[in-house]
Amino acid sequence: MPITVTDRDVLLVVDVQNDFCSGGTLAVPRGDEVVDVINRIAPLFRHAVLTQDWHPKGHHSFASSHPGKAAFETIQTPEGEQTLWPDHCVQHSFGALFHPKLDVTSVELILRKGFRPAIDSYSAFQENDRETRTGLTGYLKERGLERIFVAGLAYDYCVRFSAVDGKHAGFESFVIEDACRAINRDGSVEATRRDFDTNGVHTIHSGDLRAGVSQLRL
C-alpha cells in the first residue's frame, strides 16, 4: 500500500538508544538493525521527533531497586503490573545516548520520558499510570501534525504503547514494522499485533513510503 508522506506527517523515532542496542544493558535482539532503515526513510519526512528513555538512578522499573527481585520478573504497583528491567537508560549515562549512527536531520523535538522515579513510561504520550501526560499530544496538535509514523525500539513495549496512545489522542497512527525490533517475551509480539488490530493502528513497511512533493528539499 503506497503512502505519500506529507507536511502533516511526523516520524516518531522511539528509544533508539545504546542500552537497547547490542552491548547495551537491555539489548533488543537485532536492535541495531533499525538504524539503517530509519536513516533511509528519515529524509522523506519534513518533521521528526525522537523519544529518549531517561530514568533517574534507582528508578522503580529497575529490578535492582527491589531487593530479592530479578530482571524480567513482575511486581504489582498501584498502576498495575510492572515488569522489572535491568538498569537501563540512566540519565546522562552512555546507555541513554542515541545510537551513534542514528542520523535524522529533521528532528525538531527530543522528548524524554520515564524520568519520574516511581512511574514507568513506555508511551511517548502518557506514563504508565495512564494519567500523567507527556505533552506530546499538545505539541503535535499545535504544530498541525496529523499522522504519526512510529519506528524504533522496542516494538512490543514503547513502540506499541506510543502507536496505540497516539491513535487514541486523535492521530492516524502507522507502525513501520521493518523499522522496529521486539524484546519478545511471553507472547508480547502477538499481543502487540492484536492491540494494533483492535485499535486501528496501521502496520506498514518502509518500502510503502513515497516522497511527497513538499519533502523535496533544494
Catalytic positions are 15, 113, 158
Instruction: Find the binder of ligand VGL among 15, 32, 87, 177 (CB under 6 A).
Output: 15
Q: Closest CB to Zn ion among 9 and 53?
A: 53
- Residue 53 lies near ligand VGL (rule: CB under 6 A): yes
Residues in contact with ligand VGL, shown as a per-residue x/- string from 117 to 146 under the rule CB under 6 A: -----x------------------------
- Residue 54 lies near ligand VGL (rule: CB under 6 A): no
Cβ 43 to Zn ion, closest distance in Å?
29
Q: Closest CB to Zn ion among 122 and 171?
A: 122
Residues within the interface to Zn ion (CB under 5 A): 53, 114
Residues in 85-114 at the binding interface with ligand VGL, rule: CB under 6 A? 85
Instruction: Find the binder of ligand VGL among 16, 158, 164, 201 (CB under 6 A).
Output: 158
Q: Closest CB to ligand VGL among 96 and 140?
A: 96
- Residue 32 lies near ligand VGL (rule: CB under 6 A): no
Distance linking the first and last C-alpha atoms of the chain: 28
Q: For residue 60, how far is the Cα from the chain centroid? A: 20
H helical segments located in 26-153: 33-41, 136-142
Number of neighbours of residue 154 by Cβ within 10 angstroms: 26
Q: Closest CB to Zn ion among 47 and 88?
A: 88
d(CA 115, CA 121): 8
C-alpha atoms less than 13 angstroms from C-alpha of 190 in its C-beta half-sphere: 3
d(CA 120, CA 130): 10
- Residue 175 lies near ligand VGL (rule: CB under 6 A): no
Structural contact between residues 157 and 184, judged by C-beta atoms closer than 8 angstroms = no
H helical segments located in the chain: 33-41, 136-142, 160-168, 188-199
d(CA 55, CA 95): 11
The residues of the shown chain that bind ligand VGL, judged by CB under 6 A, are: 15, 20, 53, 85, 122, 153-154, 157-158
